[in-house]
Each structure stands twice: as C-alpha cells, then as structure tokens.
Amino acid sequence: MKCIKYGLLSGQSSKKLKYRRRFWLYGSLSCWLLIASPLVYADDEYQWQAAPSEQQLDSLSIHEAILRAFGRNPQIAQAAAQIRVGNANLTGAESAWFPQVSLQGGLGRTHQTDSSGSLNNNGSVGVNLKQLIYDFGKTGGSIDEQQNLTEAYNYQLYSTLNNVGQLTLQSYLQVKRYQELALAAQRNLASLKTVRDMAKMRADAGLSSQSDVLQADSRIDGMNATYQQYQAQVRSSQAVLMALTGVMADTLPDLPKNLLNQKITIKSLPYQQNNAVRSAQAKQSAAEQRIRQAKAQYWPTVSVQAGRTRYGDNNGSYWDDRVQLVVDAPLYQGGATGAKVEAAEGDRQNSLAELEASKLDVNQKASTAYADLIGAQQRQQASEAQQSSAVQARSVYQDEYRLSKRSLNDLLSVEQDVLQAENAAITARYDAWDAAVRYAGAVDNLLDMLGIERQKVTGDTLPEL
C-alpha cells in the first residue's frame, strides 16, 4: 500500500503503477501461502477412523449372511438404542407416582414481619416431601404414552431386522444369479469350441472352407467377452454382499426354497403381522394418550406436601414444620392448554395417516411382488421348454453338419438359441426368487421362514442375533 500511495503522490505513470500493484499482490499471496502451508500439512496428518473389517471365507450360508449383516448394520444398533431411550422415558414418567424428597438451604439475611412481631434470620436448611395423590390423568396419560412409544420402538427394531434381512438375501441371490449366468456362458463357450473343432476337421479334410473355422473363432471370441462380462457382474455383486456382511465368500450354497411354498395372496394381507404397521399403530395410541394429557391440564392436581425447615440467626434458631394438602387448579393460562389439545389432535391425525400409509405400502409391495412372481414362473416354464427344444435341435444339427446336410451358420444359430433360452430360464428363476423374497418381506414373514427367531412379544430383552 505504501508503494501504491507513493506512486500516486510522485506522479508515476499508470503502467508503472500497474506493475507495482501486481508485484504487491503476488507478494502478499506468497506470504499467505507460506503461513497457511503448515495448516494444509496438518490436515494430512489427521487419522480417520478405520473402515469396518472384512474377512475371506470358503462358504457363506443364507442364515450366517443375515446374522452377520445384523451385527454390521448401524440402523439396527440405532433402533436398539432408541428402545433404551423409550425405557428410560417410561421410567421417568412412572417416577411421578413416587414420593419426591428434596433438601433445601439458604444463606443470607431475611426479615419476616407479622402481627406478633418480626423475625430475622441469616440462613435456613430443611427437607421437603411431596406426594402426588391425583391429577385427573396427567401422569397416567404420560405413562401410557411412553408405554406405547416403547412398543413402537420395539416393533421398529423388528421392522429394521426384516428390511436388513431382505436386502441381504436379495444381494445373496444376485451373486448366485450372475454365477449361474457365467456358468451358462462357460458351457456355451465349451460347446462352441466343439463346433469349431468339427469345422476345423472338415476344413482340413477339404469338406469345407477355412472361413467356417474363422467364423467359429469369431463367435467364440464374442462368447468369451460375454463370459467376462458376467464375471465382472459376479465380482460387483459380491462386493455389495461383502459390504453388507463383511465376508467375501467363494461359495454360496443355499437357496431359500421354502419361500416359494409360502401362502401368497393379496386379498387378505396379514397387516397385523407387519411390524411397521404395528409400530405405526402403537404411535397412534401414544398420540391418543397425549390428547388425554392435554385435556387433563384443565383439571387440578392434588398432592400432599410436608416440610421441616430450621431458621437461625445470631440470637437463636427455630423450626418451621408444615403438612399440607395442596390443590393446584389452573384458572387462566392465555389459551396454552387449548393449544396443547389442538396440537395433540394434530399428532393423532398425523399418526393415523402414517398408519394408513404403512398399510398402503404393504399392499403395494405385496401386490407388485405377487404379480412379478406369477410372471416370472410363467416365463421360467416357457424358457425351460424352449431350452429343451433348442438342446435337441443342437444335437440333430451337429449330426447333420457331419453329414454335410447343415451349414455352420445353422450350428452357430442353434447354439445362440440354447444360450438365450438358458439365460432366460435362469433370469426368470431368480426373478421368481426375488419376488418371493419381496413378498415375504412385505408381510414381514421373511425371517420366520428362514428360521431366524425374533421376539414375538415386546419386552426388555432384544432378540438373540
């Protein structure tokens, strides 16, 4: 700034002044970078929290995968912590019925005057006791509200377990889907090599041209690219499953066969079995208890209060003993009680809408899963029939090719038909599995069918994982 100011005063040219300003700017920037560089280096030294651990296993069953996902998913820990919060709030609400004992003391000069004279004291110490007798539903409504909220938190935990189990099982089946598609591509690749060998034998014998061999090699290269694509999808789906379970397994031996035997219907869905619906219903009951508490504010609160206090000064001391029946009756609060009642009514309407939304969500998911399951089963039957016909045609075409009654294009075409039919059958089969999993998850019956027990009645203990 001094340089710029000096240039202006001395009448220097605008060009020199421009250079001086640029020099001052660059110099200031360089100084700032030198000062700030230790801060940048300090950020690089910050130690971030370590990522969740992972391990390699030879085999991973469905049951073990879901249990590992339970122990790894933070939403389950969060839901369990919310249950502990609900239990603590319930204990706090119930404590209102117990005697409230407190100590009090004061230091400082006070002066009391009545018809008999005046009293001076320099300090006091005493004990007070208060016992609630009746409050027209204030405390009872608070206790019932917390009980319903605790039930809602338990149901919410079970719903979270169901969602995590469904997501894990779908990821498990996705890995097996691409593994089977990769095996189908590998089988087709071996069959194409057999066709290539036949074409080479015929070309070497002068029965066909070398273009048949080149054409077969081209088809083999294309199938090898398809196989590598499926292998990449296998690795990608394994990475998703590993993120959920913390395990990288080479073999996934299980299939949830009993899921296809479950009773599937959309006419009478078991809403009472769905824990998300039950949680919303418990929250609605809690909202009704809040209305009860708010309306009880219009009525008095009756309690017994007792105390014994000792006052003292320089001349002596005395005791103040009291036992009273206290009635606290609100007369006017500026509309606060009415506003609380209206707010509680709004909470009840909101919880009722949430309950209906949870039922609608169950209905939508179950209906979609049901339709997808029926369609997948029909596609699987058609694809398996097509695959059987294509396999028979491939055998006949290969015999006729050896007798020069079929061209190589016919063989390659039927090989393509076999692969497409097999891929369609595999895709339809796993689509049916996925739909069955989604239906069981919608009606909240998935973990029960897999043999993973959850606590059926809410209580203080969490389900054994």
The pLDDT tens digits of the residues spanning 280-302 come to 999 999 999 999 999 998 999 99
Query: Which one has a higher pLDDT value, 14 or 78?
Result: 78
Beta strand ranges found along 176-278 (DSSP E): 247-251
Residue 319 contacts residue 305 (beta carbons within 8 Å): no
Q: What is the pLDDT of residue 266?
A: 77
Structure tokens at 198: 């036949």
Residue 160 contacts residue 339 (beta carbons within 8 Å): no
Q: What is the pLDDT of residue 202?
A: 85
Torsion angles phi and psi, residue 33, rounded to 5: -65, -40
Q: What is the pLDDT of residue 2?
A: 41
Residue 151 contacts residue 458 (beta carbons within 8 Å): yes
- Whether residue 32 is predicted with pLDDT greater than 80 in this model: the reply is no
174 CA to centre of own chain: 19
Q: Which residues contact 198 (CB under 8 A, 6 or more apart)?
A: 398, 401, 402
Structure tokens at 135: 């409050």
Chain position carrying tokens 């206090």: 309
pLDDT tens digit string along 178-191? 999 999 999 999 99
d(CA 364, CA 266) in angstroms, rounded, equals: 10
- Whether residue 172 is predicted with pLDDT greater than 50 in this model: the reply is yes
Q: Find the mean pLDDT for residues 346-359.
A: 92
Rounded to 5°, angle at Cα 444 from 443 and 449:
105
Q: What is the CA radius of gyration of the chain?
A: 39
- Whether residue 390 is predicted with pLDDT greater than 90 in this model: the reply is yes
- pTM, 2 dp: 0.79
Q: Find the mean pLDDT for residues 333-356.
A: 91
Q: What is the pLDDT of residue 451?
A: 85
Return the CATH number of 56-95+156-294+346-449, one of 1.20.1600.10, 2.60.40.1840, 1.10.10.10, 3.40.50.1580: 1.20.1600.10
- Comparing CA positions, the residue from 329, 333, 338, 336 lying closest to residue 301 is 329
pLDDT tens digit string along 124-147? 888 999 999 999 999 999 999 999
d(CA 175, CA 17) in angstroms, rounded, equals: 70
Q: What are the boundaries of each domain within the chain?
A: 56-95+156-294+346-449
Torsion angles phi and psi, residue 405, rounded to 5: -100, -5
Q: What is the pLDDT of residue 437?
A: 95
Chain position carrying tokens 């041209």: 209
Q: What is the mean pLDDT of the chain?
A: 83
